[in-house]
Amino acid sequence: MAAAAAGSDVLQPVKRSSSYGWLPPNMSELRVVLLGNSWSERSSVANVILRETKFNTEEEPDHCLRVSGELKEKKIVLINTPDLLHPNISAHKLRQHVEDS
């Protein structure tokens, strides 16, 4: 049993997967709407995807922000929304934000 446990100490690299190859070759741009509980977290994720700081993680506007960039030679548009998942958002405000997106 000890020999089996000793052999499992070797860590294997995680295999990365991507659905990028499934995108249609004639697609002009990829649009991604960011959802989540925190403006700063959504902005941070967008900045990681774009590999540069385009979203300010400190200031949370009350409207959608769109930022364009390139990812593997394809145009990508990241749309950071206000807190659409907030439990106290009114139906009117939710509808307004979704229409903006």
Q: pTM of the full predicted structure?
A: 0.64
Running DSSP on this structure, what letter comes out for residue 36? S
Q: Which domains does the chain have, with CATH numbers?
A: 27-100 (3.40.50.300)
> Closest Cα partner for 39 from 14, 61, 20, 6?
61
Q: What percent of the chain has pLDDT over 90?
A: 5
CA distance 57 to 37: 13
- Residue 4 pLDDT: 52
The pLDDT tens digits of the residues spanning 8-31 come to 677 777 776 666 566 666 777 888
